[in-house]
Amino acid sequence: MPDTRLSRRRFVQLTAGGLAAVAIDPKAPAVLTGAKKLPVVIASGNGGKFKNGGDRTCVETAFAMLAAGRDPLDAVIAGVALNELDPGDLSVGFGGIPNADGVVQLDASCMHGPTKRAGAVAALEGVRTAAAVARAVMEQTDHHLLVGAGAQSFARQVGFTIEADLNTDASRAKWIEWKRKIDPEHWLAPEKRSAADPAAREAFRAAADRARWSMIASGALDPLHAWGTINCNAVSAGGAVAGVTTTSGLAFKIPGRVGDSPILGAGLYVDNEVGAAGSTGRGEANLYNLSSFLIVEEMRRGAHPKDAIVTALRRIAAATVEPRLLRLDGKPKFGLSFYAVTKTGEVAGAALYSSPTAQYAICTENGAELRPLDGLLGEWQA
């Protein structure tokens, strides 16, 4: 079996040339990949941590279902539901960090490789398991995406319980802290925020961004996970591929903001002939590049998942040119991570930045493990 470890020298070679304005850290560790074993499940790091009071994590639950012969979409939907229902995971579902108005709005998408079908919801309120609603969209409508009140109405019609508030004490406390950090001079009333006044809208965005980064600096928010999300992809023993991405979105986002998670090709992409890829992190950067689609297409051309992710990360870093999105050293000041698996079971995870908390989860017949997400641009620095 060929060596699946990417050397530091090779990592630098792969990333050189595409980032004229962004320096590559030559000390960035190698990207780790898994052996070719089926079935296999790969997820963002929270997929290997939260159990919602049970005995198994997302990846363990999904793998057990695959081992029992269940469809991979059944497996990943059940896996991420653990995170969606766990109030300890502030990045998805019940207790996800709310928007600027204190309301939890959820986005999710799913794709089923064998049937070439997909479904998604965005700005969904009142339903803890957005991924399951996305699946219902796939199975019970002729559409790929339902949003807002329409998504909630559909969820009610097909039997989901609608709750008045998905906040927990923890998520509400984060929102209150964020509100308190906003300078009253720049916190605009709803009528001003919706006014056709660019200066008023910009003042709100600037105040919100300052407060969010203040909470990141104080440790109240994880710098690489202020955008939340769980992505989980699986390949069955027979080579069937499926994936899901679900999120509460950017912490304290503008109400109605939709990121990459429910958009096919951005937050998730599955092709049963190739494999799957998904993301967590700043959705706007991913949307501009449709990076999950790019990763799957690179794998279609024969690239290993680790090389396909590097290609996407290079493109994202090179496309980040607005000063407000750059640190003082000229590198992007946000986190974005990708997770990919081929139909044959090769896996990889990598990110713009590494950090002690940046990990991805996998589960094979050898059990579940968390692996470090290696950074294209080295270790995160505020």
pTM over 0.75: yes
pLDDT range class, residue 209, cuts 50, 70, 90: low
Binned at pLDDT 50, 70 and 90, residue 221 comes out as low
pLDDT at residue 240 in the model = 98
What's the confidence (pLDDT) of residue 191?
Answer: 42
The residue written with tokens 């993301």 in the block is 279
Residue ranges with strand state E in the chain: 33-34, 40-44, 106-112, 117-124, 145-147, 230-235, 241-247, 268-271, 275-281, 336-342, 347-351, 359-364, 367-372, 374-375
For residue 62, pLDDT beyond 90:
yes
pLDDT-based confidence at 71, cuts 50/70/90?
very high
Could you tell me which residue, 309 or 22, shows the higher pLDDT?
309
- Going by C-alpha positions, the residue among 20, 10, 12, 11 that lies closest to residue 331 is 20
Sketch out the chain's domains with CATH numbers.
33-164+226-309+335-375 (3.60.20.30), 169-218 (no CATH)
Give 199-241 as a DSSP string. HHHHHHHHHHHHHHHHHHHHTSS-TT-TT--EEEEEE-TT--E
- Residues taking part in catalysis: 229
pLDDT at 50 > cutoff 60: yes
Q: Where residue 223 falls among pLDDT bands split at 50, 70, 90?
A: low
